[in-house]
Amino acid sequence: MNGSTDGPGQNVNAAILRTLREASGSSVSGAELALRIGVPRAAVWTHIDELRELGYDIQASPHLGYQLVSVPDILNADDLQSLTQPAVRVIGREIRVLHETKSTNDIVGALARNGSPEGCVVFAESQTHGRGRLSRKWISPAGKGLWFSILLRPRLPPQSVTRLTITAAVGLARGIRRATGLTSEIKWPNDLLIRGRKVAGILTEMSAETDKIHHIALGIGINVNFARDDFPPALRATATSLSIAAGHTWPRAQLAADLLTELDRTYAQMDGPGFEIIADEWESACSTLGQSVSIQTGNRTVTGRAESLDSDGALLVRSQYGHLDRILGGDVTQSAAEP
């Protein structure tokens, strides 16, 4: 596991990358790096060599010092930490990156059971058994997306967990907009679409008793640098990626950092009156509201007009007989928008 876990700001690789980035294209001498980070100069050399081996192009000039020229399109825990700290409140306190795993949600579940702190994030370059909602498969190839899970311990009763899902969808939409300028719509409860096609999904897995949430593995998958042909034929009509939407690829590390930053801010807003703002934003972004929907929930199908969201994030659906159904989860098919 490539992990950056030794306390905020304490990791030398992260500190070197942060210092070189802050110099924005100028050089920083070895002596200054050593002084600012609080390690001997020899340690600076060793760590710079380590970063170069990972693909970071750090040029050295004898008189001027070190300059960060380019970064590789890899996910590296130290780099993610350098891009997110020191502003992290909860989400991103600890960041781990795996080369390949079955599902990052499983890893976060195991970390939670072993007492890892809230806010720990696990990324994988690829997942062999990535899963989506309703036991669907989530394809997660290397280099094409961001596949990660966040360990959360929200102070919410289990029946209000939809609040968290809504908060995550809004945080993700904010993060995508901040990083790329692209606006996404939300399909209830938490699919993110761009121009009607799915770009990201959220899988909330909860361990709880009747009145207490133990932990949540909040799994997020974002199609970042897929070309149309990278999707399996069955998905081509319904899926999209940030690169398809923008017409160019995106550096995944910066994107990941921006997303974590927005998710962290939005999560901090979830408690108390802040949720009203999130819910309003969710309602404005939600393409499901006002539409005729058919929702498969458990073994029944609810059809009607998606009218609004209640204070716990449940969808209120008005049937053709005027009855209001409160739906907590399910698979929505949206039909034509009503006039």
Q: Does 127 interact with ligand BTN (rule: CB under 6 A)? A: yes
User: Given candidates 119, 219, 313, 330, which one binds ligand BTN under the rule CB under 6 A?
Assistant: 219
Tell me the H-state helices in the chain: 12-22, 30-37, 41-53, 77-84, 104-113, 161-180, 242-246, 252-269, 274-285
Structure token pair of residue 335? 């039909």
Give the shortest CB-145-to-ligand BTN separation in angstroms.
Answer: 8
Q: Which is nearer to ligand BTN, 68 or 94 (CB)?
A: 94
> Taking CB under 6 A as the rule, which mask of x and - marks residues 130-159 in contact with ligand BTN?
xxxx--x-x-x------xxx----------
Question: Could you say whether residue 201 binds ligand BTN (CB under 6 A)?
Answer: yes
Q: Which of 105, 180, 223, 240 binds ligand BTN (CB under 6 A)?
A: 105
Residues written for the chain: 339
Q: How far is the CB of 200 from ligand BTN (least distance, A)?
A: 7
The reply to whether 203 sits near ligand BTN by the rule CB under 6 A is: yes
For ligand BTN (CB under 6 A), the number of binding residues is 21
Q: Count CB atoms within 10 A of the CB of residue 16.
A: 27
Of residues 199, 249, 240, the one with CA closest to residue 221? 199
- The CA R_g of the chain, rounded to the nearest whole Å, is 21
Residue of minimal CB distance from ligand BTN? 201
Select the residue interacting with ligand BTN from 11, 13, 103, 288 (CB under 6 A): 103
C-alpha span between 283 and 325 (Å, rounded): 18
- Whole-angstrom distance, CA of residue 65 vs CA of residue 33: 9
Task: Please say which residue, 148 or 226, places its beta carbon nearer to ligand BTN.
Answer: 148
Least distance from ligand BTN to the Cβ atom of residue 284, Å: 21
Output the CA–CA distances (angstroms, integers) from residue 209 to 43, 95, 158, 205, 261, in the order listed: 48, 28, 8, 13, 30
Distance CA 273, CA 192 (A): 24
Determine if 202 is a binding residue for ligand BTN (CB under 6 A): yes
* Residue numbers 220-259 binding ligand BTN by CB under 6 A: 220-221
Which positions touch ligand BTN (CB under 6 A)?
103-105, 127, 130-133, 136, 138, 140, 147-149, 191, 201-203, 219-221
